[in-house]
Structure 1
Amino acid sequence: MRTFIRKQLIELLDSMKQLQNELPTITGKGKIIQLLADCQEAAIAIGETLERETSDYEQIVSILESYSEEAFHLSETQEEMISKQMLFVLDELTDKVNLLLTEIIPVYHVVFLPYKASMWDSLESIWLAAKEDKRCECYVVPIPYYEFDSMSNRWIEHYDGDEFPEYVPVVHYRDYSLEQNLPNIAYVHNPYDACNMITRVDMRFFSEELKRYVSKLVYVPYYVTGGFIAKEHLGLPVYQHMDYMIVQSEYAKSFCMGMPYYDKILPLGSPKLDRVINLCRNGSKMPGEWQPMLNGKKVLMLNTSIGCFLQEGDKYFQKIKKICQVIKNQDQVAIIWRPHPLLEATIKSMRPNLLEDYNKLKAYFTENKIGILDETSDISRAVAISDGYIGEESTSVVNLFGATGKPIFILNNYIADSFTKEERSRVRITDALKQEDKLWLGTNHINALFYMDVDTKQVHYAGRVENQPKWYGTYPFFTEVEDKLYLSPSFAGCPAIFDLNSFEQKLIRWKDTEKLAGFSQIVSWKDRIFYFPSIGDSIAEYHIKTGEWKYHTECLEMLWKEVGKEDAEKQGLTFRCSVCGNDIWVSAAYTNYVLRLNMEDGTYALCPVGEKENGYSGIIAEERYIWLAEVNSGNIIRWDRRSGKTKIYSVPEGFRTWPGTILGRRLPHVSLIDMGKWIVTIPGFSNCMIKLDKITGKTSLLLKSFWNKAEKEVNGYSPNQFLTSEFGARWDENKLIVQRNCDEAVAIINVDDGTWDMFYPTLNKADYSKMIDGEDGFEKREKKSGFFRRESKIFSLEGFIDDLVHDRLTGVRERQLKELSTLAANLDGTCGIKVHEHMMNVLDNCE
């Protein structure tokens, strides 16, 4: 019997007892007979309901029949009043019925409301547990949804009810009434309601509407993350109406701290992971039509998601075509290609001009027998069959492979071909320090320090900071104090120190070592080190002698206050800095305010410079003037600290800039170099350097021929995606050193006469081997990220395929599963069982 029906019967029985209690107070034979007749009708209604709703009714119905006979007998008496003693039998019979009703084991009505069949795996393991529970009546009711077609400017209706697995009994939504069934639990996996501009469910199934009829509304995310919850997913409509939300882990729940629904979150894992784990454990049968293409080969799953397509469009398609060509030229590996279920709908809605290219790409894949184009609704089967994953990082599919221990290779869509040995040995530079006959070099590509022989220009590998990510730009910037390099942590958990004499390194512990620090620029002053963040909360100050930390938070909050922290972090909370006396001056790309921080006492001021819409990248602080590189126009601004007046130096003829990846900013220059008489710019998203004569105010292009490749795409480089340069520094009194990103060529330039020498900073064979020997490229960057190898100059797609074919990746599985222990709870495949058990306890306690 349904719980709400039992509740209704008990309430009806209570109303009968109330009528019985009123009888002794009523006079008049007619009124007494009517009340007794009402009690009889109620007893009959209870009996009929029991006969219809349960098989365990005979004893109660027999008691109700006795009740009706006793009520009839009382109505036949000639008394004008009914005494309490005369009602003793009726009271005793209703008490017996009440006891027996409460002893009936309730049946809970549980409904699952998926919309896309391809996302059913996010609910299935809960359904499997519920359908085996005799206390539950389970229903799977796929609901209609709509996809927006921008070409016709209308919403197209879809219904996936006929695409669910055969073993799932589906009820058509037209044959199911929420109002009549009043479910005890409804499980949903769409959180958006009306907030999705590409796909949305029918408004009859918005969370607010569902809650009108459902006792417990449970939201289960349709995706799997690396163990965290993204900011943009913290304010979705379903949160206002749900009773519970299932998340992967306690760590994931921590991202919702302070949200009003925090206590509704159950960190029990993910049903999506249940399905994949159990399929891999028990084996997944390969469809017969797949076998001729896949049997006897290693199988890679290629996943293509919406996010990467929207960001990179045709570049994305070119990369997939390249992968197809690599696979076509060998016979040991095949691909299962699974486009995101909504990818085609997204192309039609948001990039209709690319629909033909997409269809041609699918045709090329199938005609050349690259593998299987899997557009079925069951992704778990493809994961179970595959030996590894290739694709982008920002997709939940990565985490399905992570949970199974299968190797993951993250593609770089800008790498179109193999690199030569010489190209792989080149060093990308972000910072430099000259010390006698050595030039120490920092990089933002990997965790490594290098030094270059000043005379021969030969680059050597000095080592890396241990126990930090190896294949990310962990420490791109540094400063020197007493023959020690203090390293600023970017993709690292904490700062580090490198001894220039012994080459020893050590970590500096601080407040939070589990997440990426996100720092950029670094400055030494007296016995202190200042770290300036790209993301985060504070400018950090470290006292070398005491080991104490101090955090400057308020000044940073005031700097980003007008634009908001989220937008500020997308552009870098701080960009560049320059020291003058006790003050350090800090620029930011998102505001025309420049921060002055007194390093002695921590006082600060925000100084508005130029137009309100301005932002600044490079900065040079002098006693009287502050020089700034404006991020929109590319003009150089000179601000007089005494008068507050500004002077604008326009870019010279022939200087071009273009939009890049910095939110709302063109970023023509990344930094400014003070060369005494000259101010020199380092190009960002632009075609050349500029030198400015401080005295005459004349600007001119510098080293135009060196930068002529900046606007051309080459393997691994695109001008709209990557900065023209990320490095420039003073070499000596008259010269500076710069590097262009397109091919990592370095030039040493005489600023006065424009003469220059060019070379490639390259490791010799021994140093390159020292850097990569014994390394497979697999690692977990931080607690909330996955465990994988990234495509780069060092680690190629062809190399990954070769390692897979020759079984050189067997040791990855154990490391991967250990590193991903924070990914989700119940990685034994029992999330669905745990969710069901919890919800049954909730309902039992409600009863």
Structure 2
Amino acid sequence: MFHIGHLLLIQRAAKRCRHLIVGVVSDEFNLHNKKRLPCIPYEDRAAIVGAIEGVAEVVRVEHRQSVIDTWEKHPYDCYFSGDDHVGADFTRDMEKHGIEVAFFPYTQKISSTKLREQIGGSEGEATSLRKEVLFLPYKASMWDSMESVWQAVCRDEDCHAVVMPIPYADLNADGSVRRWNCERDKFPDYVPTVDWQSYDLARQKPAVIYIHNPYDDGNRITMVESEFFSRNLRKYTDMLVYIPYFAWTGVWPGNHLNLPCYEQVDKIIVQSPCYRVSGNGWYEGDKANLEDVMPAGKVKVLGSPKIDRMLQAAQNYALPDGWQEKLGRKKTVFYNTTVSPLMAYGKRGMKKMWQVYHTMRKKPDMSFIWRPHPLLEGMLESQRPELLEEYRKWKTAMQSLPQVIYDDTADLERSVAISDGYIGEYSSVAQLFASLGKPIFYNDMLLGPAEDDAEYHLAGQFMLVDEDVIYFWADYWNALCQMHLDNGTVEVLYQKQPSGFSVGNYACLFKIGTHLVLTPNNAGKILDYNLQTRTAVEVPLIAPLETGNLRYGIVYGEMVIMLGFRYESIIAYEPASSVIETLCRIPKEILDKRSESHEFLLGKPCLMANVLYVPVINANQILSLDLVSRKCQIYTVGPEEAGYGYATAYAGNIWLAPWLGGPLTVWNPPTGVMQVFDQFPHDFSFSNLPGIDETQFFRETVACGHYWWLLPMKANMVLRLDMETGEVKAVDMGFPLDAPQNEHYQQLQYVWCGDAMDGLVYIWTGADRKIHCLQNETGEEVAVYSPQMPADEAQQIRHELGREDFYEVYVWGQVAAIFEDGISRTPEAFFDYVKSGRHDGRWQQEAFCKITANGDGSCGEKIHQYVMSELTAKRGE
């Protein structure tokens, strides 16, 4: 507490020198040395001191700084101090450096301690009159989600802060306890903590309790002691507050929508005003936010204390022993390994981790800080024991690299502050890098060509067979390509400029004259490529969505009719004029069918005469659109549980295939007569792959003559329907579709796409990344094509990473990140980008602040003020 004694010392010192530098200790200095925050924060104390006549400069003094450290940063000739420090050790150090030390009489009758006693009585009396605020962290590494709130409580003279780390158990796969832990000894030394066994909740009855574990007994990996379940804490406080242990923006995690503590707590503090809800029927146009699906009146957008902690750490950190030798002056990349990749991808996730290791090994001129998720190894022990030995082998290899620092400390923010970039998976840790304007690179678990591959096997998400070529879009290459059927060579026709997240930009490909037209899915513009002029134009949609615009299309005269997943209109595009026309708005009856289980609207259409027939996805309805009169009509076809996704026309009938499961159906529009065909081959089955609904049948359908080929998403066989007899048979592809031929290949679905021409059906399979050509009538294979590009040619279309590779604010909230594409955006390319020092993070920080509340470091104070005002209102004080 600043008093007259401090003022007199400064005035005396000012008279003895021409340029007076005054050191003001930081708030953290007080925490470390006096175990409490000052009543007046540093910024205010510095302003007061700076306003005193004779003070030329005010400098911040941290608790880790010695007086010699301060002198080296701010050289001076004489050190002024009160005579209560005569004989102190630091004075001898200063004399050794030739610094004069001058002492002034210390005001014995005035001290901060005496002033506090006069204002508030004894410490015990003051505490008894103050509101007790209890913090219940369980993992020391997650304390940063509470620290700035605790600091704000410590500054509040009307409150008394108590930090009590609580015990938690690591669980076995069957839910039994493997071991108990309490991490009280791992908390920062400036944070006073109490023993959980010595604190009586029923007697103390704290006014406020903060928690950051929302699971109670609902987590498969860890569990806090039952005494501290939210339903039990509820009995002992007037204000129970949950602060998420993670920092996150964009789409609120789906597995955090209905957690045990939500019904018990009074308030849920969240970081972003822009949250969307994944898989719960909300769309950009609805302008829905998290409050709409969370318990009423509980959610408050105030930011994340983790960001406060990060901003503080960026200004003040000390290196542990041995770190400086490895860091030197080299650029440093932070490597984050989380729980999800190994849980979801198993061996494929391990393969990616080895790929990153080998890339790091080739970069001795850089340094890397590897920080595994604190629960990772425990998760493997209980949930994925078959990976444990391989993980430990990889861990040993990582720790043996001289350029790698293994960080398992509780101080996450220090490592973020030291590092120049981030590589890893989607994680709240990446948000901390965004707050500091540092580049972020997201690994794709499904990418990583074999090290001995001399050629790059391309992946096509859709294709068009035309005479002697196959046109396709290479998603990760972000390129329109053609493969010549006579020799299998691949040529890049057009490569779209880097634009952040490139996967899924387009969904279908059509040819009208010399034009190749691509329907925009995640892109907001139609891509129109002219084969004759070899140029491309992009035609913007009206009010495009960020993802899932137009999935399907069909050629009608000189137009391509487009419709699909989430865009609420059916449109027509004419390449000759580059004009888009809206044919109809999707009826409200269909829009209202969107639900928590799916948000897609229309499936693959067919054309009969001048009428377009479109299945309503996962419903027993067909939307018809007369392309002459532009009139729409909705038909109900089959029982309510029917769910269609694909349609084709043959002999005056409409054949319908299911979206999420069920039989095939044939329907005659004029008569309304329908018939069900449910006799699939007896060994027709499904497998579960990451990210795909477990019952989704088909990826694509191809009509050729009187056969309708049904290409599986995850089923174990290609089916061929005879539309004259209704018979369904399996097609022998020569190998099992559900057994990948190369573990490096992406296989989110067993078949990527297909097309037909001149009695031949072409199927691009995911297991081997090859196009199989089969006779339509017999199902026999007649040719196999392997779309490849030699490595030297691939090198020619690569580009150096730059600003255009970053997606500024992606729909999922991954701010200013590069998404791996396996071509230009690779771990090695990212390391080179970081090493170059080209990154300017100012725009990145600006983008982050748009979607984060109180991203200026004031979050903790705002949370405390809000909670106390809510407490006052609840108590009626």
Specify the TM-score bucket, using the shorter chain as the normaliser: 0.7 to 0.9
In structure 2, what is the Cα distance between the partners aligned to 1:291 and 1:493? 48
Aligned to 1:597: 624
- Confirm whether residue 741 of structure 1 aligns to residue 774 of structure 2: no
Deviation at 1:736, TM superposition (A): 3.7
Deviations 1:300-353 (A, max 9, x none): 332222222221123323332343344345523444332222223333443344
- Confirm whether residue 266 of structure 1 aligns to residue 300 of structure 2: yes
Q: Decide whether the 8 Å contact of 1:491 with 1:781 is kept in 2.
A: no
Q: 1:449 to 1:300 in 2, by over 3 A?
A: same
Q: Decide whether the 8 Å contact of 2:249 with 2:274 is kept in 1.
A: no
- Confirm whether residue 233 of structure 1 aligns to residue 267 of structure 2: no
Deviation at 1:618, TM superposition (A): 5.0
Aligned to 2:172: 149
Deviation at 1:466, TM superposition (A): 7.2
Q: Decide whether the 8 Å contact of 1:532 with 1:539 is kept in 2.
A: yes
- Confirm whether residue 133 of structure 1 aligns to residue 162 of structure 2: no
Deviation at 1:717, TM superposition (A): 1.4
Q: 1:287 to 1:106 in 2, by over 3 A?
A: same
Aligned to 1:679: 708
In structure 1, what is the Cα distance between the partners aligned to 2:833 and 2:657? 49
- Confirm whether residue 730 of structure 1 aligns to residue 756 of structure 2: yes
Deviations 1:360-390 (A, max 9, x none): 4434433565733322222222222223222
Aligned to 2:862: 834
Deviations 1:597-622 (A, max 9, x none): 3354222123237x96x866654222
Kindly report which structure 2 residues correspond to 1:447-846, keeping only aligned pairs within 5 A, or say none. Answer: 447-450=478-481, 459-463=490-494, 469=500, 471-479=502-510, 487-493=518-524, 503-511=535-543, 513=545, 515-523=546-554, 531-534=562-565, 536=566, 538=568, 540-541=570-571, 547-548=581-582, 550-552=584-586, 554-556=588-590, 565-569=595-599, 574-586=602-614, 593=620, 595-599=622-626, 600-608=630-638, 619-628=647-656, 643-647=673-677, 650-651=680-681, 658-661=687-690, 665=694, 669-685=698-714, 689-691=718-720, 694=723, 704-705=733-734, 711-714=739-742, 716-717=744-745, 721-731=747-757, 733-742=758-767, 744-747=769-772, 749-752=774-777, 754=780, 756-761=782-787, 772-773=798-799, 775-776=801-802, 777-780=805-808, 782-786=810-814, 787-795=816-824, 797=826, 799-800=828-829, 802-804=831-833, 807-808=835-836, 810-811=838-839, 813-839=841-867
Deviation at 1:470, TM superposition (A): 5.5
Deviation at 1:136, TM superposition (A): 2.8
Q: Decide whether the 8 Å contact of 1:589 with 1:665 is kept in 2.
A: no
Which amino acid in structure 2 is aligned with residue 431 of structure 1?
M
Which amino acid in structure 2 is aligned with residue 256 of structure 1?
L
Secondary structure at the counterpart of residue 125 of structure 1:
helix
Kindly report which structure 2 residues correspond to 1:207-226, keeping only aligned pairs within 5 A, or say none. Answer: 207-226=230-249
Q: Decide whether the 8 Å contact of 2:249 with 2:271 is kept in 1.
A: no
2:345 to 291, 304, 312: 312
Once structures 1 and 2 are overlaid, which stretch shifts more, 219-228 or 199-208?
199-208
In structure 1, what is the Cα distance between the partners aligned to 2:190 and 2:428? 25
Deviation at 1:225, TM superposition (A): 1.4
Q: 1:710 to 1:138 in 2, by over 3 A?
A: closer
Kindly report which structure 2 residues correspond to 1:279-318, keeping only aligned pairs within 5 A, or say none. Answer: 279-280=313-314, 282-295=315-328, 297-318=330-351
Secondary structure at the counterpart of residue 726 of structure 1:
strand
Which amino acid in structure 1 is aligned with residue 399 of structure 2?
T
Max Rg structure:
1
Secondary structure at the counterpart of residue 860 of structure 2:
helix
Which amino acid in structure 2 is aligned with residue 830 of structure 1?
S
Q: Decide whether the 8 Å contact of 1:430 with 1:444 is kept in 2.
A: no
Deviations 1:265-311 (A, max 9, x none): 4323211122223222x142221043444445443332222222221
Deviations 1:556-606 (A, max 9, x none): 46766xxxx33335xx66553323335544458866x46343354222123
Percent identity of equivalent pairs:
25
Q: Decide whether the 8 Å contact of 1:389 with 1:408 is kept in 2.
A: yes
2:398 to 344, 365, 371: 365
Deviation at 1:419, TM superposition (A): 6.4
Aligned to 1:405: 437
Deviation at 1:479, TM superposition (A): 4.7
Aligned to 2:200: 177
Which amino acid in structure 2 is aligned with residue 603 of structure 1?
Q
Q: Decide whether the 8 Å contact of 1:302 with 1:390 is kept in 2.
A: yes
In structure 1, what is the Cα distance between the partners aligned to 2:567 and 2:222? 36
In structure 2, what is the Cα distance between the partners aligned to 1:300 and 1:57? 49
Deviation at 1:624, TM superposition (A): 3.8
Q: Decide whether the 8 Å contact of 1:652 with 1:700 is kept in 2.
A: no
Once structures 1 and 2 are overlaid, which stretch shifts more, 396-405 or 246-255?
246-255
Which amino acid in structure 2 is aligned with residue 476 of structure 1?
A
Aligned to 2:79: none
Which amino acid in structure 1 is aligned with residue 625 of structure 2?
N
Aligned to 1:275: 309
Q: 1:109 to 1:331 in 2, by over 3 A?
A: same
More helix by share: 1
Q: 1:650 to 1:635 in 2, by over 3 A?
A: farther
In structure 2, what is the Cα distance between the partners aligned to 1:227 and 1:696? 50
Secondary structure at the counterpart of residue 551 of structure 2:
strand
Which amino acid in structure 2 is aligned with residue 374 of structure 1?
D
Q: 1:455 to 1:550 in 2, by over 3 A?
A: same
Which amino acid in structure 1 is aligned with residue 749 of structure 2?
L
Deviation at 1:140, TM superposition (A): 1.0
Kindly report which structure 2 residues correspond to 1:31-70, keeping only aligned pairs within 5 A, or say none. Answer: none
In structure 2, what is the Cα distance between the partners aligned to 1:368 and 1:105? 55
Once structures 1 and 2 are overlaid, which stretch shifts more, 235-244 or 682-691?
682-691
Deviation at 1:764, TM superposition (A): 8.9
Which amino acid in structure 2 is aligned with residue 391 of structure 1?
G
Once structures 1 and 2 are overlaid, which stretch shifts more, 162-171 or 297-306?
297-306
In structure 1, what is the Cα distance between the partners aligned to 2:471 and 2:175? 59
1:341 to 352, 356, 374: 374
Deviation at 1:189, TM superposition (A): 1.5
In structure 2, what is the Cα distance between the partners aligned to 1:419 and 1:709? 24
Unpaired segments of 5 or more residues in structure 2?
Answer: 1-115, 277-287
In structure 2, what is the Cα distance between the partners aligned to 1:657 and 1:209? 44
Q: Decide whether the 8 Å contact of 1:690 with 1:701 is kept in 2.
A: yes
Q: Decide whether the 8 Å contact of 1:728 with 1:739 is kept in 2.
A: yes
Which amino acid in structure 1 is aligned with residue 699 of structure 2?
V
Q: 1:709 to 1:605 in 2, by over 3 A?
A: closer
In structure 2, what is the Cα distance between the partners aligned to 1:550 and 1:474? 24
Deviations 1:141-160 (A, max 9, x none): 22233332236834744322
In structure 1, what is the Cα distance between the partners aligned to 2:223 and 2:272? 27
In structure 1, what is the Cα distance between the partners aligned to 2:646 and 2:603? 8
Q: 1:750 to 1:780 in 2, by over 3 A?
A: farther
In structure 2, what is the Cα distance between the partners aligned to 1:791 and 1:585? 38
Deviation at 1:498, TM superposition (A): 5.8
Secondary structure at the counterpart of residue 673 of structure 1:
strand
Secondary structure at the counterpart of residue 309 of structure 1:
helix
Unpaired segments of 5 or more residues in structure 1?
Answer: 1-52, 59-100
- Confirm whether residue 351 of structure 1 aligns to residue 384 of structure 2: yes
In structure 2, what is the Cα distance between the partners aligned to 1:476 and 1:184? 56
Aligned to 2:413: 380
Q: 1:551 to 1:438 in 2, by over 3 A?
A: same
More strand by share: 2
Deviation at 1:167, TM superposition (A): 0.9
Q: 1:406 to 1:538 in 2, by over 3 A?
A: same
In structure 2, what is the Cα distance between the partners aligned to 1:801 and 1:662? 26
- Confirm whether residue 255 of structure 1 aligns to residue 285 of structure 2: no
Give the root-mean-square deviation of aligned CA atoms: 4.4
In structure 2, what is the Cα distance between the partners aligned to 1:151 and 1:57? 54
